[in-house]
Amino acid sequence: MERVPVLVVGGGYAGLSAATLLAWREVPVMLVERHPSTSVQPKAFGIGPRALELLRPVQGIEDELRDIWAGIGDGMRIAIARDMADPEPHLITDGGQAERAFLAALTPVAMVGAPQADIERVLRVKAEELGADLRFSTELVSLEQDADGVTALIRGKDGDRLVRADYVVAADGHHSPLRTALGVPTSGRGELSRMCSIMFDADLSDLVREREVTLWYLRNDDLTGALVTGAGAGAHVLGVHDAGAGAHVLGVHDAEGPLPVDRCAELVRLATGRPDLDVRILDRATFGIAHVLADTYRSGRVFLAGDAAHTMPPTGGQGGSTALQDGADLAWRLWLVLTGQAAPAFLDTYDAERRPIGTLTADAQLAELGARMPPAARIGYPEPLPDLLHTLLGHRYHSTAILSEPGDDGSILEDPRLAGGRPGSRAPHVVLDWDGQRISTIDLFGSGFVLMAAKQGRQAWMEAGRVVKERLGVALTRLPVDDELLDVEGCFEERYGVSGGGAVLVRPDGYVAWRSPGAVQDPAGTLEQVLRQILRR
């Protein structure tokens, strides 16, 4: 029987991010994926800045993804139109100028519009370089839990094997056999429609501006769907939700397998408004668009992530980023427990924090589906939720791993410009100078807890951090601002809400766990009590 601390089931966004960040933290991990490789189709495009903040501590990932994006385009337009030949499309965004301006003041990380296939490939290579054991063409057959761990039967090209793991990450997709086997109940609207996804090559130079990726939401009498043009390497992707009065003739709703090549070509010509377009079909698939929410993200020693936890319509583009964040979030929590820094009960905070965010994001994308792609909206939809830009960096967490302050309203979404360093909020971006190099506070997070102290009380807090780090054996970095780190804009104390000798404790995921707005009589005793409470020790 093989032995591994963490077994990851599924090689998509959630599984690969978990495996990569576990391996980066030197936690042995095995990943099994039933498909022979990562995605072939581009699938989703882009990941948000929050997901990239979590991935960027792994050297090379951010640079490689930016190189891919730079080779494809300079920005993404989103438009609603009859077809690509529509002379008056309705622009939702025009190249992301407003989004970039909004984000520039909040994070050193920008959105990256690379296709999912490329992002998965980068993560796979990086995970293997770091020592993760990735096994493709391998499926999970069965799983049994007991008080001490999990025993899994996996089946690959070389036959069946038993694997013993401490914990399992169930990142096995929308239908999630693991979720079903564990009896985890679900809610949500279920499957909404079938989608035919077609990757094709065609000369669209008369319809698409050079070096620009455009997402078209198409509405006409013949079809309702979405088309991404300029996807790189001459490829474009069309997703058809509804083929109007001819739906059954076109076979979109009833097809379980891919549509015939000639029918795919016909759909492409309808979408582009070019009936004589020369089309080469590169790949095709049919799958469901769904809104399915797991009622819990934990079942014993198994944790649901990605589509297994929250399947959502693609409208809004945050499904992939949410899955990446799930995997990254599990990685640091499992690392703390497996290394003895946190008690096993600490893992309950994953469900407490991530499930409300998964539900919020799925509901927002459901609302966007109804707004952007009628008549695909065949059922009632919730009202549109707050601004998408707020959801990129404005999530708030509430759990025993966050020591909230009096007056906390319990909200799970805020304007990130107004977060002010509150516990449960993402730690604000502040420009610092470190030995002549300009960095962001965001660059300081990822490898462990970070204790940052305001100028007036830095000596007392730094000594407290040293004592508590040794006493508890916790990965804790002590950083006095305006000493080793110079506050370039003079705004650290204001943005983090600490002054007069205060300090702030930031978790490995870059979220504020606790802060002391001012000085305390016993910094070491206070900090130890805080960490013991957070880590359930």
CATH of the domain at 14: 3.50.50.60
What percentage of the chain reaches a pLDDT higher than 70? Answer: 88
The DSSP bridge pattern shows strands 431-434 and 310-311 to be unpaired
Residue 107 lies in a domain: no
Residue 385 has pLDDT above 80, yes or no: no
- Of residues 240 and 176, more confidently modeled: 176
Q: Is 217 a catalytic residue?
A: yes
460 with 383, same domain? no
> Confidence class of residue 116 from pLDDT cuts 50, 70 and 90?
confident
Residue 207 lies in a domain: yes
Q: Read off the tokens for 205.
A: 């130079």
Residue whose structure tokens are 């990129």: 392
Q: What is the pLDDT of residues 23-52, one digit of tens each?
A: 999 999 999 999 998 877 666 777 889 999
pLDDT of residue 253: 45
d(CA 397, CA 510): 12
306 with 168, same domain? yes
Q: What number is the average pLDDT over the span 109-129?
A: 89
Is 205 within 8 Å of 230 (Cβ atoms)? Answer: no
8 with 151, same domain? yes
Q: Read off the tokens for 502.
A: 């205060």
- Within 8 A by CB and 6+ apart from 482, the residues are 454, 455, 458, 492
pLDDT of residue 249: 34
- Of residues 363 and 530, more confidently modeled: 530
| Buried-state track 181-195, b at ≥16 Cβ within 10 A, e below 16 | ebebebebbeebbbb
pLDDT of residue 246: 37
d(CA 441, CA 439): 7
203 with 284, same domain? yes
Question: Which of 377, 392, 407 is the last residue in one of the domains?
Answer: 392
> Confidence class of residue 286 from pLDDT cuts 50, 70 and 90?
confident
d(CA 313, CA 209): 27
pLDDT of residue 354: 98
Q: What is the pLDDT of residues 273-285, one digit of tens each?
A: 999 999 999 888 8
- Within 8 A by CB and 6+ apart from 187, the residues are 292, 293, 295
d(CA 108, CA 441): 9
> Which residue range is the domain that position 345 belongs to?
2-73+112-188+291-392
Q: What is the pLDDT of residues 400-435, one digit of tens each?
A: 999 999 989 899 999 998 888 999 999 999 999 998
pTM (2 decimals)? Answer: 0.90
Is 395 within 8 Å of 344 (Cβ atoms)? Answer: no
d(CA 217, CA 228): 9
Question: Which of 260, 290, 320 is the last residue in one of the domains?
Answer: 290
Question: Which of 234, 261, 290 is the last residue in one of the domains?
Answer: 290
d(CA 72, CA 249): 36
Q: CATH number of the domain at 516, please.
A: 3.40.30.120
Tell me, rounded to whole angstroms, the distance of Cα 452 from its chain centroid: 27
d(CA 431, CA 433): 7
pLDDT of residue 72: 55
315 with 180, same domain? yes
424 with 511, same domain? yes
Find, among 493, 274, 505, 350, the residue nearest to 18 by Cα. 350
Is 79 within 8 Å of 216 (Cβ atoms)? Answer: yes
pLDDT of residue 260: 86
Q: Read off the tokens for 72.
A: 């494809």
The residue count of the chain comes to 537
117 with 172, same domain? yes
Packed helices 523-534 and 458-472: angle between N→C axes, nearest 10 degrees: 50
Residue 300 has pLDDT above 80, yes or no: yes
Residue 179 lies in a domain: yes
302 with 231, same domain? no
- Burial degree of 15 (CB within 10 A; 0-12, 13-18, 19+): buried
Q: What is the pLDDT of residues 40-87, one digit of tens each?
A: 766 677 788 999 999 999 999 998 988 876 655 556 677 888 888 888
Give the DSSP letter of residue 138.
Answer: -
d(CA 399, CA 355): 11
Is 483 within 8 Å of 455 (Cβ atoms)? Answer: yes
34 with 135, same domain? yes
- Per-range mean pLDDT, top range of 156-165, 198-207, 360-369, 376-385: 156-165
Residue 478 has pLDDT above 80, yes or no: yes
CA separation, residue 104 to residues 49, 293, 417 (Å):
10, 33, 11
pLDDT of residue 40: 72
Is 174 within 8 Å of 292 (Cβ atoms)? Answer: yes
The DSSP bridge pattern shows strands 76-81 and 235-242 to be unpaired
Give the DSSP letter of residue 383.
Answer: P
Mean pLDDT of the chain: 87
> Confidence class of residue 117 from pLDDT cuts 50, 70 and 90?
confident
- Of residues 454 and 431, more confidently modeled: 431
- Per-range mean pLDDT, top range of 97-106, 220-229, 469-478: 469-478
Is 120 within 8 Å of 320 (Cβ atoms)? Answer: no
d(CA 368, CA 363): 9
204 with 267, same domain? yes
Find, among 368, 53, 49, the residue nearest to 226 by Cα. 368
Q: What is the dihedral of CA 47, 50, 54, 59, to 10 degrees?
A: 60
Residue 98 lies in a domain: no
Residue 116 lies in a domain: yes
Q: Which helix (H) or strand (E) holds 363?
A: helix 348-372
pLDDT of residue 247: 39
385 with 436, same domain? no
- Within 8 A by CB and 6+ apart from 208, the residues are 84, 214, 229, 230
354 with 424, same domain? no
Is 19 within 8 Å of 127 (Cβ atoms)? Answer: yes
| Total domain count, the chain | 3
Find, among 445, 456, 472, the residue nearest to 536 by Cα. 472
Residue 241 has pLDDT above 80, yes or no: no
> Confidence class of residue 242 from pLDDT cuts 50, 70 and 90?
low
Q: Which of 13, 217, 297, 350 is catalytic?
A: 217
